[in-house]
């Protein structure tokens, strides 16, 4: 009766990793409790989540090293299995809300976020590739695009291309406030990316800054973004709070791989109760001001609600 904050399964998003394989459900050692699914198995996983009232998913592809190149050309190749996966899930389960990660780094041999010129990411040469990835995902049936790199001007650029091509009803949920964080490490281990985090500090945020975070959110709003996002979540609760106070768009927060893996590791050692600490973590992110919480623990939370 006196609880000031509540969190429902409808406000949660489960990340899902898709691999180009058959009949594979492989556990991911870098992110305990999380699996990579082949095209056939992902449908079963989505169905299980739907039975728990969990309908929102953010999708990431796992790309073989041999398909990665400096132009990230496979990222928008018509035969990219990722688009096939999106199409299949949407056709089988139209009631899902599918969010697609839009970035080059999963397709780049070093995990870089853009086209490298003179040892630096070239912002403006990267934008057309982000737009091509976005268009291919829209064609496949994605509901929401989630550009995750922090290139300047990407929201406006993608928006214009979408409008031109008749995709005016697709939403953009940008990682508007993405920190150059060390808490993405488990995700990067999974993607076999060995990028030096410091190299991202010229376009992702310095963990010491909050005013800059507000500026970044305002820039995305000016470019017609539909949802804002703060990434990571748990170490940036004050940032979530400030963005919520100063803006009016739906606000998502990404409880990232390293933040989740910390809970799991402590639980595996018997130092924390996983379910209790997960519930406390997710409600804290909500209390700080997030409307939507993306977490690897979403399905576990949904199970708790059902039991
Ligand atoms: C890919 C992407 C990342 C995350 C969201 N999209 C990883 C990164 O930027 O290296 C964070 C995922 C996580 O750590 O759980 N661009």
**pLDDT, tens digit, for every residue of 133-149?**
999 999 999 999 999 99
Structure-block tokens of residue 84? 């096939």
Say whether pLDDT at 197 is over 80: no
Q: For 10-19, how does the pLDDT look when each residue is reduced to its tens digit (9 = 90+)?
A: 999 999 999 9
Cβ burial of 168 (10 Å; 0-12, 13-18, 19+) is exposed
Least trusted range by pLDDT, from 16-30, 48-62, 273-287 = 16-30
CB 179 within 8 A of CB 205: yes
pLDDT (0 to 100) of residue 17: 98
Strands 251-255 and 25-27, by their bridges, are: unpaired
Whether ligand 1 lies within 6 angstroms of the CB of 253 is answered as no
Of 75, 184, 233, best ligand 1 pocket probe by most atoms within 8 Å of the beta carbon: 184
Tell me yes or no: is domain 25-306 CATH 1.10.1040.10. Answer: no
Say whether pLDDT at 307 is over 90: no
Whether ligand 1 lies within 6 angstroms of the CB of 181 is answered as no
Say whether pLDDT at 198 is over 80: no
Q: Can you tell me the mean pLDDT for 217-231?
A: 98
Say whether pLDDT at 31 is over 90: yes
User: In degrees to the nearest 10, what's the CA dihedral of 180, 14, 234, 145?
Assistant: 40
Q: Angle CA(56)–CA(299)–CA(83) in degrees, nearest 5? A: 40
Of 107, 187, 253, 257, best ligand 1 pocket probe by most atoms within 8 Å of the beta carbon: 187
Closest residue to atom 6 of ligand 1, CA basis: 148
pLDDT (0 to 100) of residue 199: 79
Whether ligand 1 lies within 6 angstroms of the CB of 188 is answered as yes
Local confidence band at 180 (pLDDT 50, 70, 90 cut-offs) = very high
The full set of domain ranges for the chain reads 25-306
Q: Find the 189 Cα to ligand 1 centroid distance in Å.
A: 11
Least trusted range by pLDDT, from 95-99, 197-201, 212-216, 286-290 = 197-201
Question: What is the rounded CA–CA span in Å between residue 62 and residue 114?
Answer: 18
Q: Find the 265 Cα to ligand 1 centroid distance in Å.
A: 20
Q: For 112-129, how does the pLDDT look when each residue is reduced to its tens digit (9 = 90+)?
A: 999 999 999 999 999 999
Structure-block tokens of residue 92? 């089988």
pLDDT (0 to 100) of residue 78: 94
Local confidence band at 183 (pLDDT 50, 70, 90 cut-offs) = very high
Whether ligand 1 lies within 6 angstroms of the CB of 103 is answered as yes
Q: Find the 42 Cα to ligand 1 centroid distance in Å.
A: 20
Local confidence band at 29 (pLDDT 50, 70, 90 cut-offs) = very high
Q: Can you tell me the mean pLDDT for 220-224?
A: 98
pLDDT (0 to 100) of residue 202: 84
Q: Find the 99 Cα to ligand 1 centroid distance in Å.
A: 14
């Amino acid at each position: 009766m006196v609880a000031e904050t509540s969190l429902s399964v409808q406000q949660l998003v489960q990340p899902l990793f898709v691999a180009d394989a058959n009949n594979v459900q492989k556990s991911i050692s870098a992110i305990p409790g999380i699996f990579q699914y082949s095209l056939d198995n992902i449908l079963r996983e989505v169905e299980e989540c739907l039975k728990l009232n969990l309908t929102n998913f953010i999708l990431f592809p796992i790309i073989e090293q041999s398909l990665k190149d400096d132009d990230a050309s496979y990222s928008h190749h018509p035969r990219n299995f990722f688009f096939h996966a999106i199409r299949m899930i949407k056709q089988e389960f139209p009631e899902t809300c599918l969010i697609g990660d839009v970035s080059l780094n999963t397709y780049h041999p070093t995990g870089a976020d853009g086209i490298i010129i003179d040892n630096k990411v070239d912002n403006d040469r990267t934008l057309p590739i982000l737009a091509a990835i976005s268009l291919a995902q829209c064609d496949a049936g994605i509901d929401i695009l989630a550009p995750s790199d922090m290139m300047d001007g990407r929201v406006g650029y993608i928006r214009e291309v979408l409008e031109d091509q008749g995709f005016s009803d697709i939403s953009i949920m940008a990682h508007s406030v993405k920190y150059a964080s060390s808490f993405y490490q488990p995700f990067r281990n999974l993607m076999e990316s060995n990028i030096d985090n410091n190299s991202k500090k010229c376009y992702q945020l310095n963990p010491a800054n909050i005013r800059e975070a507000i500026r970044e959110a305002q820039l995305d709003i000016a470019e017609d973004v539909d949802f804002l996002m703060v990434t990571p979540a748990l170490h940036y609760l004050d940032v979530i709070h400030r963005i919520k106070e100063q803006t009016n768009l739906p606000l998502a927060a990404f409880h990232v791989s390293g933040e989740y893996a910390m809970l799991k590791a402590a639980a595996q050692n018997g130092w924390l109760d996983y379910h209790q600490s997960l519930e406390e973590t997710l409600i804290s992110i909500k209390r700080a001001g997030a409307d939507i919480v993306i977490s690897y623990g979403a399905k576990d939370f949904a199970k708790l609600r059902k039991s």
